[in-house]
Amino acid sequence: MPQEITVIVLAAGGGTRMKSKTMKVLHPIAGRSMIGHVLRAAVAVEPSRVVAVVGHQREQVGPHVTELVPDALLAVQETQEGTGHAVRTAWEALPAQARTGTVLVITGDTPLLEGESLRAFLDFHAGTEHAMSILTGVVADPFGYGRIVRDETGVAAIVEQKDATEAQLAIDEINSGILAFDAAFLDAALPRLTNANAKGEYYLTDTVTLARADGRTVGAFVIDDVVQTEGANDRAQLAALGAEMNRRILDRWMREGVTVVDPASTWVDADVKLAADVTLLPGVQLLGATAVGEDAVIGPDSTLKDCEIGAGAHVVRAHGELAVVGPGATVGPFAYLRPGTELGQDGKIGTFVETKNAQIGQGAKVPHLSYVGDATIGEGANIGAGTIFANYDGVAKHRTTIGAYAKTASNNTFVAPVTIGDGAATGAGSVIRRDVPPGALAVTSGPQRHFDEWAQKKRAGTAQAKAAADAAKASHRGDDAPGAGPDAGTPESGVGDSVAGG
């Protein structure tokens, strides 16, 4: 490749066909904005400088560009007067000493564009003496595209659909809109562009005519994978490109040892990392910067965004965001892991469990029907079914700590801030408001009381009352049975009867 490269990214258009308050190039695809994909490809050619031409909604586009490429130069195109005018705006924003080498012009709405393709294109251009080179493609249906007209020296012209003759309409080689220029030629050509056309715009493609008039040649480099040059002007095209990008992402991961059971229902963003022998079951979405370790199984029907899943873990029918699942741990089905969740090795977050800002230790379990917010759960602890960590007092959030190997019973409420010591236990139905010492049993529910014949008295005439009366009669008839007595089958009471959680 040439030693000095200036990349100009065109991103000033309004994108009215998107019908959106979001600028066209900022629409997401596979976890990045369209222009984010383009900038990634541009940076791959190791340019000396990147200039982004912004216009419509520049307050959105500009900061996004500089966030991704901090040293990018922003050139503001106050009025959109065509591609030639946009490139001239970028060129004039550069200091004179920077207007050298090779200039690569790309558009901000071609998200499938790859750095490897741009490198090959620049290598081609550098190996010639062309004033400019055009990245072209051969397509089955060239309708609507500018046709590449060649002669013995290279490209003779780019002819638009409406201006083409019958013979030219039969040409299947099209202009992608991606161009490479010798900087000296571009510097001389830009001031000579005119807007003497039906639209009153300055077309960058008119540089072909100028080059030929100067006795210079114009080259064309045919890209095999022409889909990389396709843009998205509306949401239907965006969805089509998104589906194609997802197909390519899944194909790459499958070739690297990942099992994708149903590619049609599986979506994986561009920045996701997958280890060998990961299995993705149907209905999986892996979004953002999610990373999945070796032998982990995700799905079916799971969505994970910016999550870290350890080797051998299993996440089934769960939703997670900014969460960490340790090696060998299990999650779901129907679990919700909110930001700040950290599940330790071999731990468990079970069915209908919601966690938030919770650190759950190695081998610890929250099996079912619980909310765990702002909590630390120690190694080997077990949280009973139906447990609520009451972390909010109406003003501030507070934290609950459950010690190592503690066993809490079903239907507990922990009113934070509170600490349950190592090896401690709680009784079923307890509301824990004070710290529990290590090894102690905490019980807050009172003794059970009975109000005899309540149903017959308070629900007279109902099916409930009839069933109670029939049972009482049957019980009386059984009083004379051998071995029957008032204490038969009645266990001794004790506060520890229901300590086990579930």
| E strand segments, 122-245 | 132-138, 147-151, 154-159, 173-182, 218-222
**Three-class secondary structure of residue 407 per DSSP:** strand
**Three-class secondary structure of residue 136 per DSSP:** strand
- Provide DSSP, 336-356: EE-TT-EEPTT-EEEEEEEEE
Phi–psi pair at 432, nearest 5 degrees? -100, 115
**Integer Cα distance of 287 and 276 in angstroms:** 18
**Three-class secondary structure of residue 453 per DSSP:** coil
Contact (CB, 8 A) for 241 and 111: yes
| E strand segments, 183-309 | 218-222, 259-260, 267-268, 273-274, 279-280, 284-287, 291-292, 297-298, 302-305, 308-309
Catalytic residues: 368
**Integer Cα distance of 485 and 502 in angstroms:** 33
**Cis, peptide link before residue 327, omega less than 30° from 0:** no
155-167 burial, b at 16+ Cβ within 10 Å, e below that, comes to: bbbbbeeeebeee
Amino acid in position 277: D
**Integer Cα distance of 354 and 439 in angstroms:** 27
Contact (CB, 8 A) for 331 and 318: yes
Contact (CB, 8 A) for 450 and 466: no
How many helices (H) and strands (E) would you count in the chain? 10, 35
- Provide DSSP, 359-397: EE-TT-EEEEEEEEEEEEE-TT-BPPTT-EEE-B-SS-B
For residue 204, what are the CA distances in angstroms to 81, 103, 180, 201? 11, 13, 11, 10
For residue 151, what are the CA distances in angstroms to 127, 142, 168, 439, 466? 19, 20, 13, 90, 100
| Rg for the chain, CA atoms, rounded | 34
Length reported for the chain: 502
- Provide DSSP, 291-340: EE-TT-EE-SSEEEES-EE-TT-EE-SEEEES-EE-TT-EE-SSEEE-TT
Contact (CB, 8 A) for 364 and 344: yes
Phi–psi pair at 271, nearest 5 degrees? -95, 5
Amino acid in position 4: E
